[in-house]
Each structure stands twice: as structure tokens, then as C-alpha cells.
Structure 1
């Protein structure tokens, strides 16, 4: 059941902090004041009074704040028993500009009021210099200004206090309406300051805007007209009813000793048949006699009612008494002695009289009643048709799905659903979200990819042609299982990272093969630290000790297998050094110029920095072509090589100190590689 709560006033915002209490007689202040303080740049706070708008600041009222008026504008037959009223959207609007606070448990005067006067006495008119229409009427036609707070309240729907749509504020006009009279309802200010502000003037206080013994001129914020009809309402008509005693009204005796001429009745029994209205002083009616004869008669009646006998195919069947309510109760017979409504209705003659009268009324008005029933059934038929169409759509959709969708493979189904991937649910998320979270690339679930690999597309026909030439037993349709195969891999298009082809790794210290000016950059690229011994240094030391165990000749050095590249790559990688991270062919095509520089295949020239001796011994200069392999394994040994002069070739032992002369043959160098050329 809907419940309403009412309040005498409502305050929100800054107005709820006002401290000047309303005793219903105060005429000041015109504006409300709130004590506040402010601090700027962390300086001490200073009091800053805040002034709120009052009734003297209102020049007009927004009509959108009015959500309902009664009676409606232009009503020709308004009831005379109800007060005119106006409702506002804001619950605090009637008290919004009242510059006072209510006493605890007390009242608060509204700043505007609703007045209602006969239209023949006054009408709001525009006057020069005044922004609002002016209502000029005798103060005796207006409500008592001391009681205006009693005609304003707030209504709230119980259980929906926090819903602004369930709360309204309301003003009533305390005017008793007369029948067949034209009235004018107006919203006017209640304080003198508001009256002057509505006229475009200044000044005034919280005194009443009018008095009963003088004429009033009030600015009108909003107005409408209506007319009343006949005096009274349903309550008035009910009051006109007069009670007149009627002896024995509401009951009539009925002899049921022989209900039918051919059948004996329940005996000399007289029962009282009641009507819908009975006298209040009548006692309870006589009960149905309970004896063997009455029980036997009810049993005979139950057996003779319509529906108790089946259709025996006779051409002239017996017309039996009707079984009232059989279609409503879905029953074919009445049971004697039962207390159900169907049994009591058909086996008690008193109730059968009322049922017969009702049946006669229905038969008399059956055409109109059936027309009304078909009218009411129209919506039911429309609803049933909608349900039938929905069932047909579901059946057709199921058959289409079984015939065209279920036979599809996973790839074909994904391509079919690609246009709807963002709107098709795949579990708890959309199909697009599921593809994005899987190993499949998102682009493979788009219509662009489906169009590119369609069976009759250009790409599929070319691939099928090439495939059939290479393998006649290949599938007829290319890319048929591309998505399924890729999803089964678990990695999609991702590959295992590996070292690029041509990466060069060294097993010797960088300072042995890199010049001093480039060494810090190489160490920084390798991320080495001087605090701990890197793994590549340990491996290089092992290789050096292994090389010192024997003095290798050129043939033996060439035949010795190099260290496994994978072992070197695992501990020392110079992928960030441009001159080192190059293919083997790049190193083979690199030349040493007579100026002791390296000439790379790209045309760039750089100092060697690789033949610098660490012991200060003079080194030779290579003139000619370099040949052999670069395999620096020993940190302490030299290198062996041979020279080939233009005119003759000689072989000699190394000179003391490692210096070479033009006639030198085999030389021991610090690189361990074989070279041929002219030396000086």
C-alpha cells in the first residue's frame, strides 16, 4: 500500500545554516547572513559574512519549477470540495528565500502564497513600469496572512526519501469554491519586500504583503483560470441518501416442496431467498434442512443436472436443468454433501435462483458481452501471434543451424562469425575478446583475412594450382585448417629466439682484440663487471692453457677443430660491435692496407688495433695479400706464417725479438694465423 509523509517545511543548501529564528512576527532581516571566515596565503583567518538572497531579490519565477496545478487551466467543471493547489519540483522552493530559520519543532513562513479569487472581481493586468502583472483586489478576498504557513507543506513517498522524483512541495489556496463560478488562481509574494521587488521597487521588510482591511496590489508570478461545476462530489451525493425502514426487505419466501410437477420435492419446506441488499436488522436465514428426504432429493437433483449424463445419441434428448459454473470450475457434475462453491450453487435452490437470474441477464446481453470480450481478446490474440512467430523463428533458426552451421569446421565457423565477432558472445566475453586473448593473431579473425583466403579467391586458386603440381594428393581447398593448426601449436606465429646468422664470438679478452680507445664502449656493451670474473674470461683462460701445452705448426693448427660456436655464444657475444657481429664472408673479404689499416668490403677504413704488441717489441708491416684463417686461441704464443717474395720464396727461422726481415720465411706472430706477403 502506498504511503505518504508530510512535512511543514524543507531547507537545503546554505539556507539550512541560518540562525535567525522565525517567530511568525519578525520583520527583519530582509536577507539572511551566515558567519564564515577566510584565510589567504596561510595568513590568519578573518571573518567574512555571507549574505543570502531574500524575498526582495526575486523578480520572477521560472515556470519550469511548477510541475502540477489543480484544477487544470480551463477546467469547466472543477469539484467544489477540493482546494486549488500548485506543486513545485524543488521541495524547498516555498521557503527558499525566507531569510529566517524555523524554531525547533516550529513553523516557517513561505516567501510566496497561492491565492484564489472570483474572476469577476479581479484580473492580473500589465501596468507601465512594472515587470510583472498586477492583481488589484480587496484584502477581504485574500487568505489570512498570519496563517499562510499552514497552507504549505512537503509530500514524500514513503520508502523513496532519497529519490527526488518522489518528493514535491505544495501550496494550497484556502478558498471554499462555489458552484458554477469562474475563479482566478495566482502565485503572489507573501512579504512586503517581495511585493515591492515584483513592482520593480526597492525597500520593504518581512511584513505581510496585504491586510484584510485594505485593498491589495500584488505582483503575479504565475496564474491560471478555471470554473466549477455542480456543487458537491460523490461524498455530497452519499450525504443525500436517506434511510427509510422497509419491513422484511431483502428476503422473499420460496416454496420448494415440488420444484417440478413430475418430481416430488424435499418435502413441505419453505426457504428464504435473499437479495443483494437486505435490512440490517434481519437475522440469519434458515439453514437448509438436513434429513434423509432432503439428502435424497439433492442426490436426485445432482443426477439430473446437465452434464451428468453422456451423449447417448438420441434424436430428442431430455432437456436437463443446467449445471451453473461448469465451464469455470471445469467440472461435469455436482457432488451432494460437498462444501465447494459449485456444489452449493447447484444443489441449493436458493442459490440456483440467483444463478438463473444471472444467466438470463447474460443471455439478454450476450451480443454486447461477446463484442466486448472479443475487444478485450484482441491484445491476447496479438500476444499469441507474437509468441507463435517467435516459436516459428526459433524452429527455422534451429533447422538452419543444423543444416548450415553445425557441419562447418572450426575455421569455417570462425570466418562465418567474423563480421559479428564484436557482438557474438563466446562464453562470458565476445568472440573478438576470445581471439585477442588466444595465440591467434587478431587480424586472422577479421573479414579482410577471410576475404584474402576465401576458396575462390586469387590467392587460394594460385596456391591450389602450385600445390597440385607438387603433390596431386593435396587438399582441394588451401588454408582450410590454417586457424585450427595454428591454435594447436600453442605459440601461434611466435618463434623461438636464436642467434642471428654470422654472429662472431671470441674466446679471448676484449683488450687483446680491441683498441684501447674502443675498449670502454665494448665492455659497456657486453655489460661486464670488474668485481667478478665473467664466464667468457674463464673459458678463454682454459683455451689459452690448452694451447700452451704444445707448439703448433701451420698444418696442425689448420687441422685442429675450433671451439664450438654455441659454447662461445653462451658466454660471450659481441652482437653490438659493428666490426665483429658480421658474417664470415665479411671477414674473409676484409683487407689490410700498406698503411696498417683495415679496409672493409663496405669501403670504410679503420685502424687495425689488432696487431698492437703489448710487450713493446717492434712489429713488422705486412705488404701484400692476407690468406689463411683467423683463429686466435693462445694469449702467450706467436703466429706462424710465410712470405712469398715476387722473385723467390725462402723459409727461415724467426729472428731474435720477433722482428722480421725481408728474407724471413716462417714467422711467429701474436695472432696464431697464417699469412703470406712481403715483410720489412
Structure 2
């Protein structure tokens, strides 16, 4: 099977870092740099709001005095390339996706936006511009080799060119983009996927800057990479800035502020290369030769030949000596229309069609009669398999392709030539057919598996799900309630808004109501009837869940000590209880000691029992009487 080409995804611009915080208002006005405000909040809870802010300025084209040529991946055309086709735009590619917009002192803007229909900010001009000039358009440029080599003082080479030969910088946003390659079907072209690829697989992304210049044949051109902003222009030329050099001022303009195209602009050159456009021979030039000057009218005989059918053989009737037009794929506009090539004398046409039917229908007739002893060879019926016909029946139908193809002698000749081509190329055609069948077999296998899955799913649904009552079905599908929508919310949200308690769908309750559980069997043995359709009845309000029982605190000595008052006072009830408990504890201790001394077992038992009883019961009695 043929290999599928990888997908390419394009972005109108790309920036990283704090430059993405720029907004349109942050670069408006007469500032020399793009700025944005940073705020720090010092406010404390329940106190007056306190915050501090500071404006940060970003580096722009005015801080760039040159670029590293290693950032350039490729140029088209290559340096000193000859015989270049003129119908492609020159461009330069960078290995850093954000490079053309890294120092742009502007914020991205949408094409057209309204409050009712906001548009994404897809327009951001690059801080660089690629211009292409022929030798006659360059006013002055030093003879340097390819690249951006400056003089010993580090100054970039200076280009002097008239304003009329420079592109319109108001459209520069359209001539730069980012390309992400090898986007497969398993990678959706979402914003998150594209950003992840640029961050984790930077080798798949590049940026490209193009020049919208129409190139003329047999002309030598030089491409220049120059700054697009005025501060970048002066920085490259080592000139001082003045008050009018704002951050967003362009290196040149096509507006009325510079009405004279003869104004010479001085530009520093970051990088440059040259190439030669070749002779005419591309597709565009060939088409122009066909239409300019206008073509002459060809005679009606161009693209057609005369076909003589006066002696057709095979027992067919002799026809007129007049020739019938046999036309090719390309004919003169003056030629007869294609639907006229099958027309001749009407009476002869009907006579020929009737005789031809008797000849071409002979094999089908003998097969129908079942006489296998007769071997018949007859002219073929072209297109019989596509039309699902094995004979030519009825009267000739002018607008029916099967009748027209097999009854008109010129079309039968063309079909015979096509058959000859197929016979000569049958090996290659069969190999190509098998390549297509491989994909068809895979598709058919997938369809068969999908059909089988559909049949099995329907069977399981009818057998196992339709027979269930609603309570059991809701219990079984509980894990999916938060994932299935029941417009506009999920099933879980709908149940939470209903009288059905969420506890009846949790694991403990579902375990208790299972048919095989011992708890449910025990209820049946006790003669109690287990409620059916409890979810339905709970939804109608017939069943309600009771509140959980209150868990009382343990009666401990620690809780008793909390009843002591911090000012030293002791409640009277506590005094009575304390005297009683100390007395009971003392008597129990004396009884236990007497038993140990006299070694009388029953005395020891009474002492131990009463001592333990006083230690356990007396705190409880105090808590109960004092509502602890």
C-alpha cells in the first residue's frame, strides 16, 4: 500500500516567556520599550488591602546588534544557486520557533473582532523582515561574502535602497509562521498538543520568514535580513536614538508620512545571500505561452480521424461510404460535439444495430439454450460487468452509456484500444489491484469485527439488561453515573437531587441486598418480607432513610475532671459524689486488705469485686446525673 504523507501544522506566531503577558495597551503611546505591570499583594486576612506594583520593560529590537548565523537552518534558494524557478517565494528558516517574534515590541491582535463575535489574536508582526532586491534596485551595498560579517568595529554592513523597492510592513504579520511537522492521526492538532511538541520535541518545529516578491527570469537577486523596527535599525547602524524613536515605530513606511518613493533608506543587514533566476520553463511560463498571444483557431479536423464502415464484415450489413468521425481526447473547438460522433443515417443506424445484436448476443443465447457443444466466438460487449448485462437488448438508447458504447462503431474502436492497453499492462494492473485489495481486506475485517461486536452487544443487552428491574440496573451501573450525561447534568447529579439517598448506592448497602448474601437469607428465614423496588419507592417518598444514631462519648476520668471549676469552687453534686466514691473505695480496699492478711478467699473476692464496681460505676453515675 502507498505510504501516507505526514501532516504539517502551521501557527501564525509563537512566543514564550513573560512576553506573552503583553497586551495592546501596554505598548501604546510613546514608550521606548514594551512594558507590562507586575503587582504583589501584601494584604492580610481581615485587613486593609495592600499591594505594590512595578512596570517591567522588555528587551526589544533596539538591544539587538546582530544575530548568530547558526540560528538559520536553511535558505531558499541556496546561496549562489542558479537556474532557480521564478514561481516560488524566497524564505529563511530558523531552528528556534519563537525567533521571528522574540523581540517584537507589540501584542498580538485579531483580524476583526466584536464583543458579539470575538476573534483570536492571530496577527503579530515579526521584528525581522526579509527583502529581496535585484542588482538595479540596490543603491549601495558593500561587496561582502555570504552571511553577516561586519567591519572591525562590529558594525553590520549597511544597505541603501529606495523606499519604493521595500515591502509594506503593515502586512509583515502574514509572511512569518511556525511549522510543526510529522503530525500523525493519533496526535490531534489541539493547542495543548502543539505546545507540548514544541517544548518536548523541538526538532519537529521551525519558524519561517518569507518575502512576497515576484521574481523575474534571467535576473540575479540578493536577499537581505533586516530589522523591521526603527530602534533596531539604529542599533544595527550604531546610531543614537531620539525622542521620536518609540518602541513600535517601523524602519520604513508606505503611508503618506513618506510620500516620496525615492527616499533612500539605510538598513543594517543581519544576513544576506544571492541567487540567480533561470530561464523560463516553469509551469506558469508555459501556461502564459498558451494564452499570450491568444491561440489561433484550429481546424475542425484536428483531434479526429475518419472511420470508414462501408464493409464491417461478420455478416453485418454494408453501410454508406461516408466516413464516421473517430475523435480523440483533445479536439478542436470547431469540431463536432462528442455526442454527434455516433450519429449517421437513421435508417442505417437501426439496421446496423439489429444486425449487431444478433452477433454479440450469440454467446449468451447459446448459454441460455444449454447447448455446450457449440463453441461461439463473438465481438465483446464492452462494460458488461459494470452494467451487469450479458446481451444487448431492445432498441438503441441514445443516452444510455452501455447501448451507446456497444452500438456506435467509433466508440467500439476506442473501447477496443482501451482493452488492448489493459492486456499489455495486465501484470502491473493486477499488482496495483492486489495492493488496493490489501487495504480493502483490512477494512472488511474491521467491518466484520464491528458487526460481530454490535450483534453480541445487542444480544447481551436484550438478555441481561432489559430483563433487569430499575433498582438492579441502577445498582449495576453506579460506577458509570458520574461519566454518563443525562442532559444537562450527569446521572449522579440527577440522583443527588432526587429523594433517593446516596447511601443506598454505596458498597455496604449493595452488599447487604445481594441475593447471595447471608444477611438477606437470614431476613428470609425470619419470615420477614424483603422490600422490592426500594429505589422506586424511595423516589416516590414511600421509603425514607433514618438519621444515624448518636454515638455517646465514653465516660472517662478525663471527662470528669473537666467539670471542676477553674476558680477553685466545687459543685455540691460533685462533693456528694466524691465523698461517696471515696468511702466506697476505702471500704472495698479495707475488705481486700483483710482478705489478703487472713488469707480468706471469699473476703478477698468481695473486696476485689466492690473495688472494681466502685471504680467503674461511680463515674458513670456522676456523668448520667450531671448531663456530662
TM-score, normalised to structure 1, is 0.49
> Which residue in the other structure is 1:145 paired with?
163
Q: Is the 8 A contact 2:306 2:323 kept in 1?
A: yes
Q: Give the CA deviation at 1:395.
A: 0.9
Moved more, 229-238 or 148-157: 148-157
After TM superposition, give the deviation of residue 31 of structure 1 in Å: 6.8
Matched, 1:268 2:326: no
Aligned twin of 1:445:
505
Cα distance 1:365–1:172, how it changes in 2: closer, same or farther (>3 A)? same
1:172 counterpart SS class: coil
- The one of 523, 531, 544 equivalent to 1:492 is 544
Query: Hey, what does 2:352 align to over in structure 1?
Result: 297
Deviations 1:532-575 (A, max 9, x none): xxxxxxxxxxxxxxxxxxxxxxxxxxxxxxxxxxxxxxxxxxxx
Contact 1:77 1:230 survives alignment (8 Å):
yes
1:313 is matched with which residue: 338, 359, 370? 370
Q: Which has the larger radius of gyration?
A: 1
Seen in structure 2, the aligned counterparts of structure 1 residues 253 and 378 have a Cα distance that, compared at 3 Å, is same
Equivalence for 1:323:
381
- Counterparts of residues 436-475 of structure 1 (less than 5 Å): 436-461=496-521, 463-464=522-523, 467-468=524-525, 470-471=526-527
Q: Distance in 1 between matches of 2:305 and 2:226?
A: 64
Q: Do structure 1's residue 197 and structure 2's residue 229 form an aligned pair?
A: no
1:434 aligned to 2:494?
yes
- Structure 1 residue 441, shift from structure 2 partner: 0.9
Deviation of the 1:393 alpha carbon: 0.9
Residue 153 of structure 1 contacts residue 171 of structure 1 at CA under 8 Å; is this kept in 2? no
Q: Secondary structure at the match of 2:166?
A: helix
1:114–1:418 Cα change, 3 Å:
closer
Distance 1:340-1:230 versus aligned 2 partners, 3 A rule = same
Q: State the secondary structure of the residue aligned to 2:377.
A: coil
CA contact (8 A) 2:129 2:228 kept: yes
1:253 is aligned to 2:303? no
Would you tell me which structure has more helix in proportion to its own residues?
2
Alignment of 1:349-498 (within 5 A): 349-425=409-485, 429-461=489-521, 463-464=522-523, 467-468=524-525, 470-471=526-527, 481-487=533-539, 489-493=541-545
C-alpha RMSD of matched pairs (Å): 5.8
Residues in 1 aligned to 2:476 and 2:80: alpha-carbon distance in whole angstroms: 63
Query: Aligned pair in 2 of structure 1 residues 269, 173: CA closer, same or farther (>3 Å)?
Result: closer
State the secondary structure of the residue aligned to 2:317: coil
Q: CA deviation at 1:442?
A: 0.6
* Superposition deviation, residue 257 in structure 1: 1.8
What is the rounded CA distance, in whole Å, between the counterparts of 2:32 and 2:624 in structure 1?
91
Q: CA deviation at 1:408?
A: 2.9
Partner of 1:588: none
* Alpha-carbon distance change, 448 to 229 in structure 1, aligned in 2, over 3 angstroms: farther
Q: How many residues align?
A: 425
> How far, CA to CA, are the matches of 1:129 and 1:155 in structure 2?
35
Could you tell me how far apart the structure 2 residues matched to 1:269 and 1:147 are? 66
- State the shift of 1:341 in Å: 2.6
1:443, distance to aligned residue in structure 2 (A): 1.6
Q: SS of the residue aligned with 2:171?
A: strand
Mapping 1:229-240, distance limit 5 Å: 232-238=281-287
Distance in 2, Cα, partners of 1:451 & 1:229: 84
| 1:636-678 Cα shifts (integer Å, max 9, x gaps) | xxxxxxxxxxxxxxxxxxxxxxxxxxxxxxxxxxxxxxxxxxx
The question of 1:187 aligning with 2:225 is answered yes
1:56 and 1:194 in contact (8 A); partners too: yes
In the alignment, is the contact (CA less than 8 A) between 1:346 and 1:352 conserved in 2?
yes
Q: 1:156 to 1:601 in 2, by over 3 A?
A: closer
CA shift for structure 1 position 365: 1.4
Relative to structure 2, which stretch is displaced further, 389-398 or 297-306? 297-306
- Return 5+ residue gaps in structure 2 as ranges: 1-22, 35-56, 107-124, 135-141, 176-190, 195-207, 254-260, 548-621
Q: Larger RCO: Structure 1 or Structure 2 (Cα < 8 Å, ≥ 6 residues apart)? A: 2
